[in-house]
A and B are shown apart, each in its own frame.
Chain A
Amino acid sequence: MRAQQPESGGTTDVPVNPAVGRLVFGWLLVGAPLAYGVITTLSRVGQLFQ
């Protein structure tokens, strides 16, 4: 994968491995259920102002 912005890794500057696949999987794993919970809750909240 293409290296992006460098960050300090200890005493030397090392390019950051973006690890796109792991990043997308990780954020989907936590983001998808959270989105499900928020949308389900908001659908109930809608009744408040009907």
Chain B
Amino acid sequence: MNWLDRSRSLAPPGFNRWLIPPAALAVHLCIGQAYATSVYKSALIGHFEVSQTAIGVIFSIAIVMLGLSAAFMGTWVERSGPRKSMFVAATFWGAGFLVGAAGIFTGQLWLLYLGYGFIGGIGLGIGYISPVSTLMKWFPDRPGMATGMAIMGFGGGALIASPMSTALLKAFDGFDPLTDGADWIASGASVGKLFLTLGVVYFLVMMYGVANIRVPAPGWKPRGWDETKTRSSAMVTTAHVSAANAIKTRSFWLLWAALFLNVTAGIGILEQASPMIQDFFRGADGNSAVNAAVAAGFVGMLSIGNMAGRFVWSSTSDVIGRKRIYMVYLGIGALFYVVLAFLGGGSMLLFVAMAVVIISFYGGSFATAPAYLKDLFGTFQVGAIHGRLLTAWSAAGIAGPLIVNGLLDAQGKPGTMVAGNYLPVLLTMVVLLVIGFVATTMIRPVDARFHEPEEELASATPKGH
């Protein structure tokens, strides 16, 4: 289909670059649904009559496929341009829901693994990286803010999907607040209908992004932007590094380690958010001052912190630099974890404030990463390099829960623990963050031997950036 080609998405002269962020957000808000799977988890457990783990595997497959597809398809995404890759992402994400719905209606769990997990996961990975490098090319003066806007959408997607899915499930089930109690669980059939609805709606919204994404013309730059000012820092390169060479550099792996450790530490809170706040405020009588509804409010607060951090901290990195902001994420993050561990149980306000800031750093590290890669490796194949970096996320998605659950299992049973039982987990997170902080301080500009020769760049650069 020619209209999907990079050459057909070249922006005309005078194109307004502020049309690009909504196109990017249309994709990220849809794929951000991946963070809202808990809404129908109990319904699927009841429908298939399987364990929590069997249903949890669906999300794990999706996140592993996100990392793998971003890593292996990154070079293709860079070569094909944002329009074609966003179209492929929309197709996979939408088809994943439809195949998943078929699995629910026929009672075949493997179809749900294949649909939402495998096919949808590919859509997640391609969709996540598709608009990022294009945004940085449209906003060379504020790359952190630009990527922060899009990646904020991934955090915000769950905020939309969670209440919207609950409302749809209630509508499909004919929920009656007078007869259906607080322990109402949706039927499998209504989850199937939800999947059909989400598959179609998400595909259409993502197609808005496909239709409206544009790449800037060669040589385009914002009016009044002085390139030399942006590149005055030694940490911002004027050269370009290929994806194949980037992964041979020490700086790539140091950044990979910093992201992996920060995400692992963030998952420590996200995984346990609801039981954690209840355990921190458990009295001597064994009852918690925090009930399940209040704990749900805390989880919502973390979601907002996660989303806001992506935009605020990534935008801040345009002013103070990527290396400094990563030192804040990891250094201040470690300090806040110590405060949380030793003083969090004494004050609800302090506990919530510390947790929200830590999670905002978690989100910020995701959003700042593409701009950091651009500074270190240039824009030549930054999307492909970003895809390879996202394997840190997949690895953290496995390591974080393993560490947290392993340490907490040794402390006692859920519902009986107190603040002191969380010390080993929280102090382990502090150690991880300190190691990440040291890794960040060691990141240096990439050696010139990894830079692409000018003639290679001229022949490899596609029409349009």
Interface residues on B, range: 35 or more
A19/B19 in contact, CB under 8 A: yes
B293/A30 in contact, CB under 8 A: no
Q: Answer yes or no: B156 CB below 8 A from chain A CBs.
A: yes
Majority secondary structure, B binding face: helix
Distance between Cα atoms of A14 and B159 in the complex (Å): 40
Distance between Cα atoms of A7 and B141 in the complex (Å): 13
Q: Of residues B160, B208, B221, B293, which shows the largest number of chain A Cβ atoms within 10 Å of its Cβ?
A: B160
Q: Answer yes or no: B219 CB below 8 A from chain A CBs.
A: yes
Q: Answer yes or no: B445 CB below 8 A from chain A CBs.
A: no
Distance between Cα atoms of A39 and B15 in the complex (Å): 33
Interface residues in A, total, Cβ within 8 A: 36
Distance between Cα atoms of A28 and B252 in the complex (Å): 38
Distance between Cα atoms of A17 and B13 in the complex (Å): 9
Q: Report how many A-B pairs have Cβ atoms within 8 Å.
A: 114
A10/B300 in contact, CB under 8 A: no
Q: Answer yes or no: B428 CB below 8 A from chain A CBs.
A: no
Which one, A15, A29, A36, A38, contacts B208 given CB within 8 A?
A29
Q: Chain B, 21-46, contact with A by CB distance < 8 Å: what is the 0/1 string?
A: 01101100100000000000000000
Distance between Cα atoms of A32 and B294 in the complex (Å): 26
Within 8 A of A (CB), among B289-318: 293-294, 296-298, 300-301, 303-304, 307
Within 8 A of A (CB), among B262-280: none
A5/B223 in contact, CB under 8 A: yes
Distance between Cα atoms of A47 and B222 in the complex (Å): 46
Distance between Cα atoms of A22 and B352 in the complex (Å): 40
A26/B294 in contact, CB under 8 A: no
The 3 closest A-B pairs by CB, nearest first: A37-B159, A26-B22, A9-B13
Return 27 A-B CB contacts under 8 Å, by A number: A3-B14, A8-B223, A16-B14, A16-B15, A17-B15, A18-B16, A19-B16, A22-B19, A23-B16, A27-B22, A29-B205, A30-B22, A30-B26, A30-B29, A33-B160, A34-B159, A36-B160, A37-B160, A37-B164, A41-B162, A41-B163, A42-B300, A42-B304, A44-B293, A44-B296, A45-B298, A48-B301
Residues of A within 8 A of B (CB): 3, 5-19, 22-23, 26-27, 29-30, 33-34, 36-38, 40-42, 44-49
Residues of B within 8 A of A (CB): 13-19, 22-23, 25-26, 29, 153, 156, 158-164, 205, 208, 212, 217-223, 293-294, 296-298, 300-301, 303-304, 307, 348-349, 352
